[in-house]
């Protein structure tokens, strides 16, 4: 059995713990270790994705306990792709944090960053619903630390709202898990796939309740519209690199929806039939519209990008809610695209905020700043990608989603909302970009006579900081280059996404790989337990159903 | 017993939800704590309610308590305990930083009626 599957979880965990314990107050060592860890994570994730690319499902039994009893990690195309995306995002974001000095503005940035990565990769890899909850908590508790990194009253206040909202989400998750366990007697996703399908009669009502609760929990994570209120404040007030890393957090929710609603509650399951079409799809369309309207209405750049996140998540979930192979494949492409695009934009907003002095990120004219054209050009590229204009990957992603939606009965609505909201987003980004970057010189003119008495100039009119440093701009450039690569290699990437979606909609190999993985013999550790092997195996098979019967 | 446990879960949840909808941080935190208690009891009951049975599976034993919910609830208790501690610390930081503990507004504002809050 290969141990590499567990490496994306273990490596950040050990590294983070080591950094907290052994390298306190030594930023150089911390930075070196942190970057080395992120590079290693990219390499491991790429290896896993390459291994799973052929369609093999690799199962790792934690503690060598066999599947329905122990916790399993599963590396299939979807999970390895998401891990690769997370690690590819983390490296430039980390470089930006180091280059811009954000990592030293508070304590333990690197440790929290790696704990966050551990939670994210674990959530992608796990094959057990309760373990998914645990990894959600790991990534959330690290994110609580990161949201309030470097402190400040406004940031702490946004942090409280974020934490409380997510605590409620976690509580709801546990209620859903309790209901599922009470009805099905298992929390292993592959095991549940068979058990849930076999539930009949009164049990279907409880299963439907659990499915709705789970959908609600994942919708909170994915910032779907009625439960999106935590996102704008938290993402806007969080430090730039943290907000950029959080670009993958909403996708964890989307991943969980894709995984659970293809494997445990597949579209043909009677108890939960119609859930995605009746609820998820309309809400996702409302998210798309509301997010892009928020882009148009925003008066600050960071809020603008935060609302773009909501809009793009709506786009992703619209495609997911179709629950067809084409829909999921398009959603996966759009997930990769929007993660990189929002991360690049959040980093650029942070660059702008640092350069514009007292004007901060408000969308208003301000004195031009050194390096402005470069930043403006990058913002332009990021905005093109985000709003889905050609030639960048957002355009291709939207095209794939529109194409996948043709067969849906709601196709006219989907087309109208996506195309209309794209227009609104273009307007919003164009207004923000032209105000921030192009109107700068007009405001600069009345400001010039005052330059000899710089002290007298009020803070919000002062000329802003020095030219952007190299490393942060390289990091943003890397993210934009990845977007270009996603566009240029769209053929192979979409082919991989189609294969991923095909694997999701034919879950038999996944289920049999998990359920047939051989762990240690179940009675090998029980000292006072003297049953013979055959009897124990019979007994354990019984007891695995026993909880359901006992109820 | 089922009636007692389920009504306890219901009352805890209702009280928790009511408190979570308050505008000040302190009741909200107490509300989340009540909700986590409710969910812990709920998880505990998800394996079925038994009294006086050992949480062990072995051959030929007819009555046993399902051991898995007990493991789950232990994990959930530890996590919710840690989360409550974190939210208390962050809320205290926010209160001491902003001088007020309203939940509903991310912009600090000066309330003339209240004046400067005492530290």
Residue A115 is part of which domain span? 4-449+458-515
pLDDT interval class at A290 (50, 70, 90):
very high
Q: Residue for token digits 């980390």? A: A94
For chain A, the domain total comes to 1
Q: At what angle do helices B25-45 and B2-20 cross, to 10 degrees?
A: 160
Point out the least confidently predicted range of A360-369, A468-477, A497-506, A529-538.
Answer: A529-538
* Interchain contact B2–A (C-beta under 8 A): no
What pLDDT digit, counting tens, does each position of A401-422 carry?
999 999 888 899 999 999 999 9
Measure CB to CB from residue B35 to each of A140, A171, A179 and give the nearest one: A171
Q: Which of B24, B41, B94 to mutate to test the interface with A (most CBs of A within 10 A)?
A: B94
A35: pLDDT strictly greater than 50 = yes
What pLDDT digit, counting tens, does each position of B90-118 carry?
888 888 887 777 776 645 444 444 444 43
| pTM for this entry | 0.88
What pLDDT digit, counting tens, does each position of A334-363 carry?
999 999 999 999 999 998 888 876 777 787
Q: Does A361 reside within a domain? A: yes
As a whole number, the mean pLDDT across chain A is 85
pLDDT interval class at A155 (50, 70, 90):
confident
What pLDDT digit, counting tens, does each position of A268-277 carry?
888 878 788 8
Q: How far apart, in whole angstroms, are the C-alpha atoms of residue A519 and residue A60? A: 10
Residue A391: what pLDDT?
86
A495: pLDDT strictly greater than 80 = yes
Q: Which residue has the higher pLDDT, A538 or B91?
A: B91
Q: Residue A532: closest CA among chain B residues belongs to which residue?
A: B59
Do the beta carbons of residue A394 and residue A337 sit within 8 Å?
Answer: yes
What pLDDT digit, counting tens, does each position of A41-65 carry?
999 999 999 999 888 899 999 888 8
Q: Does A486 reside within a domain? A: yes
Structure tokens at A469: 């440093």
Q: What share of chain A is helix, strand, coil (3-state, %, to 5)?
A: 75, 0, 20
Q: How would DSSP label each residue in A92-107?
A: HHHHHHHHHTGGGSSS
Q: How far apart, in whole angstroms, are the C-alpha atoms of residue A234 and residue A231? A: 5
Q: What share of chain B is helix, strand, coil (3-state, %, to 5)?
A: 60, 0, 40
| Biggest distance spanned by C-alpha atoms of chain A | 94
Q: Does A543 reside within a domain? A: no
Structure tokens at A463: 């000329």
Residue A448: what pLDDT?
45
Domain ranges of chain B: 2-50+66-98
Q: How would DSSP label each residue in A366-423?
A: ----TTHHHHHHHHHHHHHHHHT-TTSHHHHHHHHHHHHHTTSTTHHHHHHHHHHHHH
What pLDDT digit, counting tens, does each position of A446-462 carry?
444 444 444 444 444 44
**CATH class name, domain B2-50+66-98:** mainly alpha
Average pLDDT over residues A512-529: 69
Long-range CB contacts for residues B63-67, cutoff 8 Å, separation at least 24: B64/A550, B66/A546, B66/A547, B66/A550
End-to-end CA distance of chain B: 48
Show which of residues 51-90 on chain B sit within 8 Å of chain A, judged by CB atoms.
57-59, 64, 66, 68-69, 72, 75-76, 79-80, 82-84, 86-87, 90
Average pLDDT over residues B36-50: 89
Judge: B57–A535 Cβ closer than 8 Å, yes or no. Answer: no
**A217: chain B residues, CB-CB within 8 Å:** none
- Give the contacts of B75 (CB within 8 A, at least 6 positions apart): A130, A134
Q: Which of A115, A151, A156, A237 to mutate to test the interface with B (most CBs of B within 10 A)?
A: A156
Judge: B93–A148 Cβ closer than 8 Å, yes or no. Answer: yes
Q: Does A532 reside within a domain? A: no
Q: Does A529 reside within a domain? A: no
Q: How far apart, in whole angstroms, are the C-alpha atoms of residue A439 and residue A195? A: 62
What is the number of other CB atoms lying within 10 angstroms of the CB of residue A233?
A: 24
Share of chain A above pLDDT 70, in %: 89
What pLDDT digit, counting tens, does each position of A221-231 carry?
999 988 888 89
């Amino acid at each position: 059995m290969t141990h590499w599957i567990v490496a994306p979880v273990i490596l950040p965990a050990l590294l983070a713990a080591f950094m907290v314990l052994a390298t306190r107050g030594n930023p150089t060592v911390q930075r070196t270790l942190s970057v080395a860890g992120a590079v290693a994570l990219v390499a491991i994730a790429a290896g896993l994705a390459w291994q799973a690319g052929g369609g093999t499902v690799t199962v790792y039994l934690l503690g060598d306990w066999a599947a329905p009893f122990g916790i399993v990690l599963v590396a299939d195309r979807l999970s390895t792709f998401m891990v690769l995306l997370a690690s590819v995002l983390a490296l430039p974001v980390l470089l930006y944090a180091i280059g811009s000095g954000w990592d030293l503005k508070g304590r333990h940035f690197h440790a929290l960053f790696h704990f966050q990565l551990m939670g994210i990769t674990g959530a992608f890899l796990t094959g057990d619903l309760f373990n998914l909850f645990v990894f959600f908590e790991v990534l959330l508790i690290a994110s609580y630390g990161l949201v309030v990194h470097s402190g400040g009253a406004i940031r702490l206040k946004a942090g409280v709202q974020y934490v409380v909202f997510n605590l409620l989400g976690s509580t709801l998750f546990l209620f859903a898990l309790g209901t599922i366990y009470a009805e099905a007697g298992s929390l292993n996703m592959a095991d549940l796939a068979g058990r849930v399908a076999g539930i009949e009669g009164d049990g279907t009502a409880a299963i439907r309740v659990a499915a709705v609760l789970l959908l609600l929990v994942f919708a909170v994570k994915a910032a779907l519209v009625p439960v999106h209120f935590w996102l704008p404040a938290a993402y806007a007030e969080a430090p730039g690199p943290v907000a950029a890393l959080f670009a993958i957090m909403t996708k964890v929710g989307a991943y969980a929806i894709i995984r659970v609603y293809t494997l445990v509650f597949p579209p043909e399951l009677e108890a939960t039939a119609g859930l995605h079409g009746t609820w998820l799809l309309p809400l996702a369309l409302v998210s798309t519209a509301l997010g892009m309207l928020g882009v148009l209405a925003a008066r600050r750049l960071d809020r603008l990008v935060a609302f773009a996140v909501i809009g793009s998540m709506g786009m992703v979930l619209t495609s997911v809610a179709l629950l067809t192979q084409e829909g999921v494949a398009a959603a996966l492409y759009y997930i990769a695209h929007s993660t990189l695009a929002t991360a690049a934009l959040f980093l650029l907003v942070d660059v702008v905020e640092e350069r514009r002095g007292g004007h901060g990120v408000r969308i208003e004219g301000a004195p031009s700043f050194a390096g402005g054209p470069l930043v403006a050009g990058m913002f332009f590229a990021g905005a093109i990608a985000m709003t889905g204009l050609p030639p960048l990957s957002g355009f291709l992603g939207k095209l794939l989603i529109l194409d996948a939606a043709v067969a849906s009965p709601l196709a006219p609505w989907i087309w109208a909302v996506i195309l209309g909201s794209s227009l609104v987003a273009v307007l919003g980004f164009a207004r923000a970009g032209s105000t921030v970057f192009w109107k700068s010189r007009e405001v600069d003119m009345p400001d010039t006579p005052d330059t000899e008495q710089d002290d007298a100039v009020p803070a919000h009119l002062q000329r802003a900081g020095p030219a952007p440093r190299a490393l942060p701009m390289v990091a943003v450039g890397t993210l934009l280059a990845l977007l270009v690569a996603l566009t240029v290699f769209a053929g192979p990437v979409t082919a991989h996404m189609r294969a991923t979606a095909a694997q999701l909609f034919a879950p038999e190999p996944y289920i049999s790989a998990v359920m047939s993985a051989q762990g240690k013999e179940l009675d090998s550790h029980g000292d006072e337990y003297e049953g013979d092997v055959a009897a124990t195996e019979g007994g354990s098979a019984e007891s695995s159903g026993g909880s359901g019967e006992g109820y | 017993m089922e009636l007692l446990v389920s009504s306890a879960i219901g009352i805890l949840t209702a009280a928790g939800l009511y408190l979570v909808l308050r505008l000040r941080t302190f009741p909200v935190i107490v509300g989340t704590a009540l909700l986590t208690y409710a969910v812990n009891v709920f998880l505990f009951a998800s394996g079925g309610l038994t009294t006086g049975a050992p949480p062990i599976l072995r051959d030929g034993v007819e009555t046993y308590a399902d051991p898995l919910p007990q493991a789950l609830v232990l994990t959930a208790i530890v996590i919710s305990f840690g989360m409550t501690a974190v939210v208390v610390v962050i809320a205290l930081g926010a209160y001491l930083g902003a001088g007020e503990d309203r939940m509903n507004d991310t912009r600090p504002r000066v309330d003339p009626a209240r004046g400067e809050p005492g530290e």
